[in-house]
Amino acid sequence: MNQRRSLPAGWLAWLGLCCLVAAGPAHAAPERFEDTLCVTAKFSQGQPLSELPMLTDLGVKWVRDTVAWFDIEKRPGQYQAFPPEFQQRLDFYRQHDIGLVMLLAYDNPLAYPNTPAKPGNSADPVAYGRYAAEMARRLRKQGLRFVIELWNEPHNDLFHKFGGNWNGAPPSPWVDHYLRMVDEATHRIKLFDPSIRVITDDDMWVIHYHFLARGLTRQIDGFAIHPYTGGDIPELTAVTYDTDWTRPYQVVDPDRSFGSAMRRLREFGSQKLGKRPEIWITEWGWGVGEKSPLGPLSEEAVATYLPRAMILGAATGAEATCWFSTRDSVDGPMGLTDNNSRPRPAYYAFRDLHAKLGKARYVCPLSTQSGSGAAMAYLFRDAKGPLVARWDAYPAVQGAGKLSLERPATAPACARP
């Protein structure tokens, strides 16, 4: 459904990509790059718990995980203990100081069955709000860092239950229903503890604009996004500045750069919420064999995309960037490991990225150029001094856009907006 257009050739495309981050608002970045590193785990979908140590091997500081609502609330208002497998994961996260992005999804037809009179009863906003508050209380007692993510890609789920336009444009009853769920959950969580961070979710840029325009509660702390590109490079968005179904909003600059989409969403969110919203990238990845401008993506090509995506997330102010995912499970060849526990090249790329850049602090984008059209470069600094992360955004050969890390004698000048 995404309409795509090629970027204009030459220096305008390069200038937009390289300098866009500097044009955005100032961001109080995490102390170290590793503080933004996250994975979406598949332990709730069959990944064996024996693979929990992969998280420390990778060096992640956040993990996205979940337990089904109907496994906790089997009857209205009667909450069960956490399943032993989930409790074991929570213990591991706490012991290794890994923060939890707690996904609260999906509906609960066991405790709240749908009926002709109440066809949406399994996703009742009040029941969901009570459940969200209960989960917040339990997680606070666990003594680990966490943020609560309200639902997963509601346009792929609630849209089919409540109807309307899939892209969130009014009239869209599913958007109204989701916003009631968010309002109930956020209000109840904040009553319990105002410091608990709560975020909405969807994988289409424009849907967040419709949430905000339709009265998303100001109690919310921010948004979770899934900026999949349909096989294209991490530096670009899947939509263009004039994609018809994103109107009346322009969600990205004419250069189609990821950084401009982040900047625009943050600015619109600030306008509507009266504060700077957090942006969490809770899913981002590519599948082996996925179509790309240079042909089906190889495992090696996906491994070149990974460090670029993680650095772009940090450079544009994301609180965390969660690679999707730790294991293929039910979602096809998108895992750092396949379903036979074989690590893919992307696994080693992630581990290597943390080892070499994890302790560094992000500083700014740099202005550089390469013959192929767009060289991306970002300045970091660690205990040894400046460190430059550099790669070619448009390699002529698939998999050639590999990250290189250079340690200059003096720090290069930051790009000017």
**What CATH number does residue 165 fall under?**
3.20.20.80
- Flag whether 249 is in a domain: yes
Residue pair 219/198 in contact by the 8 Å Cβ criterion: yes
Helix (H, G, I), strand (E, B) or coil at 151: coil
Q: Which residues are within 8 A (CB) of 291 and not within 5 positions of it... i.e. 6 or more apart?
A: 230, 231, 297
Give the residue from 77, 88, 82 showing the smallest Cα distance to 67.
82
Residue pair 374/235 in contact by the 8 Å Cβ criterion: yes
Distance from the Cα of residue 250 to its chain's centroid: 21
Q: Torsion-angle region of residue 42: left (phi > 0), alpha (psi -120 to 50) or beta?
A: alpha
> How many residues appear in the chain?
417
Does residue 30 register a pLDDT over 90? no
- Flag whether 413 is in a domain: no
Between the CA of residue 386 and those of 73, 158, 312, 354, 363, what are the distances in Å?
51, 47, 18, 16, 9
Count how many domains the chain has: 1
- In DSSP terms, 75 is beta-bridged to 78
Q: End-to-end CA distance of the chain: give it in Å, rounded.
A: 33
Distance from the Cα of residue 315 to its chain's centroid: 14
Range of the domain at 262: 27-360
Parallel/antiparallel/unpaired status of strands 197-202 and 146-150: parallel
Residue 381's pLDDT band, with cuts at 50, 70 and 90, is: very high
Does residue 24 register a pLDDT over 50? no
Number of C-beta neighbours around residue 33 at 10 A = 28
**What is the edge-to-edge ordering of all strands in the sheet holding 361-365?**
361-365, 375-382, 385-392, 404-406
Question: What digits encode the pLDDT tens for the residues 110-150?
Answer: 999 999 999 999 999 999 999 999 999 999 999 999 999 99
Q: Which amino acid is at 281?
A: I
- What does the pLDDT average to over 356-362? 98
- Flag whether 353 is in a domain: yes
Q: Which amino acid is at 339?
A: N
Distance from the Cα of residue 384 to its chain's centroid: 30
DSSP 316-337: TT-S-EEEE-SB-TTS-S-SSB
Residue pair 375/393 in contact by the 8 Å Cβ criterion: yes
Average pLDDT, the chain: 92
Residue pair 336/303 in contact by the 8 Å Cβ criterion: no
**Which of 21-30, 258-267, 303-312, 349-358 bottoms out in mean pLDDT, i.e. has the lowest?**
21-30
**Which of 63-77, 101-115, 139-153, 367-381 bottoms out in mean pLDDT, i.e. has the lowest?**
367-381
Residue with tokens 């998999």: 399
- Flag whether 2 is in a domain: no
- What does the pLDDT average to over 49-58? 98
Helix (H) or strand (E) holding 40: strand 37-40
Residue pair 64/44 in contact by the 8 Å Cβ criterion: no
Q: What is the pLDDT of residue 336?
A: 98
- Flag whether 277 is in a domain: yes
pTM: 0.93
- Flag whether 16 is in a domain: no
At 231, list the tokens: 């096989």
User: Rounded to 5 degrees, what angle do the CA atoms 325, 326, 331 make?
Assistant: 50
- Flag whether 411 is in a domain: no
Question: Where would I find the beta strands (DSSP E) of 116-220?
Answer: 146-150, 197-202
Question: What digits encode the pLDDT tens for the residues 38-47?
Answer: 999 999 999 9
- Flag whether 389 is in a domain: no
